[in-house]
């Protein structure tokens, strides 16, 4: 690579800027441009994510301290706190959401063959949500409870590579189960969900779409056993039954048969009961599939720990959504760079190296290889093993 380019500009070089311009044009983002474009805004927000900036003044001070490097970073507008605040307020967050979808499609291709601990030839997804707390006095539009504000980030991740394929940002009062109405089921795919999504009418739509689900049942769900299937109890599977719903209301919403798998979790010394509409996979595979649901929890934990989505640079809905979508784009960018450069470093390591070398004029491959060529530091042993790909 060109030794004259900074690490930041080399990273941004992996982004399809032409596609970004199309997203901007779609929502007229640069209409009546006042010297600070959507691309300038994205680069400033990306810099803030990479370097863990605390606020707009922090971003302004750091970027204006190196004015000779701004041009090489791709920033053409004048960076100031007020200009960036106006951009976060006015530039439609859909621009950044659409651009993230382009990065999602690219990342999914790169990670399509990654294993996730279960021998499964089908597509597999995990769905869950995380709550991002907000100060109600500063974010009055985000009322969650009487004295608490929050937004929810509902996320469907592809278990092959842990790439988010669907993200919906709502206010904190939206119940998780409502997000099932927005999903377009993929025939033959497995959707791993927790008990919060146990709605038989919505689950039956997955069955009608030839998609499969794996979830846990609740204690108040009445089931009638029709058939019992042999199991190997040494694996932890205690029973495997074909069952039907008993309550009239439940039968109306889900008239087909279900499969109930009872499993003993030796690690936590507890019994787990799973429901699925798949009757072909071994019972142990069903239990392991549900265990993979924890990947989405690790994704939430990682993005909250290592990116800026808990402290916001604006107080409007548009600013909050913009910052979350930029953070997701940065996660995807790092994942893409890891694959395309064939790096052995984890996503966390890559992010840390970039944060301290962002203005260095060295090839990015050299910078990242220097980090992983030395003796491994115990600092990384406590990081999430999910991303040590």
In terms of pLDDT, which residue wins out, 376 or 14?
A: 14
In terms of pLDDT, which residue wins out, 156 or 360?
A: 156
Residue 389 has pLDDT above 60, yes or no: no
Helix or strand holding residue 61 (H, E): helix 56-64
Lowest mean pLDDT segment, chosen from 27-36, 177-186, 316-325: 27-36
pLDDT attached to residue 70: 80
Share the mean pLDDT of the chain: 89
Pairing of strands 163-171, 190-192: unpaired
The CA-atom distances, in angstroms, between 355 and each of 48, 200, 352, 359 are 10, 47, 5, 9
Which two three-digit tokens encode residue 154?
Answer: 């509902």
pTM for the model stands at 0.90
Residue 117 has pLDDT above 80, yes or no: no
Residue 375 has pLDDT above 70, yes or no: no
Residue 388 has pLDDT above 60, yes or no: no
Residue range 168-187: average pLDDT? 94
Lowest mean pLDDT segment, chosen from 140-149, 160-169, 181-190, 315-324: 140-149
Q: Give residue 173's pLDDT band: very low, low, confident or very high (50, 70, 90).
A: very high
Residue 384 has pLDDT above 80, yes or no: no
pLDDT attached to residue 3: 52
Residue 229 has pLDDT above 50, yes or no: yes
> Among candidates 244, 242, 247, 255, which has minimal Cα distance to 208?
255
Residue 377 has pLDDT above 60, yes or no: no
Residue range 80-109: average pLDDT? 95
C-alpha 86/C-alpha 89 separation (Å) is 5
pLDDT in tens, 205-218: 999 999 999 999 99
The percentage of the chain sitting over the pLDDT mark of 90, rounded to a whole number, equals: 75
The CA-atom distances, in angstroms, between 154 and each of 16, 24, 216, 317, 324 are 26, 25, 19, 16, 12
pLDDT attached to residue 374: 46
Residue range 152-178: average pLDDT? 94
In terms of pLDDT, which residue wins out, 28 or 379?
A: 28
Q: Give residue 381's pLDDT band: very low, low, confident or very high (50, 70, 90).
A: very low
C-alpha 237/C-alpha 283 separation (Å) is 7
pLDDT attached to residue 364: 86
Residue 21 has pLDDT above 60, yes or no: yes
The size of the chain, in residues, is: 389
Residue 144 has pLDDT above 60, yes or no: yes
Residue range 240-258: average pLDDT? 95
In terms of pLDDT, which residue wins out, 39 or 34?
A: 39
pLDDT attached to residue 30: 87
C-alpha 102/C-alpha 99 separation (Å) is 5
């Amino acid at each position: 690579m060109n030794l004259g380019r900074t690490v930041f500009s080399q990273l941004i070089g992996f982004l399809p800027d032409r596609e970004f311009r199309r997203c901007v044009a779609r929502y007229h983002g640069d209409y009546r441009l006042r010297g600070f474009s959507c691309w300038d805004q994205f680069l400033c927000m990306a810099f803030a994510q990479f370097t863990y900036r605390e606020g707009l003044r922090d971003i302004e001070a750091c970027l204006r301290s190196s004015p000779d490097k701004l041009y090489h970073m791709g920033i053409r507008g004048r960076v100031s706190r007020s200009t960036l605040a106006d951009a976060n307020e006015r530039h439609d967050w859909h621009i950044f959401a659409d651009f993230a979808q382009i990065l999602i499609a690219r990342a999914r291709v790169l990670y399509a063959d990654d294993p996730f601990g279960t021998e499964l030839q089908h597509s597999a997804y995990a769905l869950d949500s995380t709550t991002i707390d907000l100060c109600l006095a500063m974010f009055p539009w985000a009322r969650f409870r009487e004295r608490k504000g929050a937004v929810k980030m509902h996320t469907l991740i592809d278990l092959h590579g842990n790439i988010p394929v669907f993200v919906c940002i709502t206010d904190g009062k939206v119940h998780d189960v409502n997000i099932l109405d927005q999903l377009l089921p993929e025939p033959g795919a497995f959707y791993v969900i927790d008990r919060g999504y146990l709605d038989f009418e919505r689950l039956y739509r997955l069955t009608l779409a030839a998609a499969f689900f794996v979830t846990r049942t609740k204690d108040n769900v009445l089931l009638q056993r029709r058939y019992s299937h042999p199991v190997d109890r040494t694996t932890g599977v205690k029973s495997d039954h074909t069952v039907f719903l008993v309550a009239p209301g439940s039968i109306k919403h889900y008239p087909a048969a279900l499969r109930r798998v009872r499993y003993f979790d030796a690690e936590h010394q507890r019994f787990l009961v799973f429901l699925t509409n798949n009757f072909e996979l071994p019972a142990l595979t069903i239990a392991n599939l549900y265990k993979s649901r924890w990947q989405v929890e690790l994704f939430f934990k990682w993005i909250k720990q290592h990116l800026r989505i808990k402290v916001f640079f604006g107080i409007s809905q548009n600013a909050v959504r913009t910052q979350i979508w930029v953070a997701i784009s940065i996660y995807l960018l790092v994942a893409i760079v890891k694959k395309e450069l064939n790096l052995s470093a984890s996503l966390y390591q890559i992010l840390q190296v970039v944060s301290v070398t962002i203005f260095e004029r060295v090839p990015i491959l050299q910078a990242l290889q220097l980090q992983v060529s030395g003796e491994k530091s115990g600092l990384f042993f406590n990081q999430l093993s999910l991303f040590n790909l």
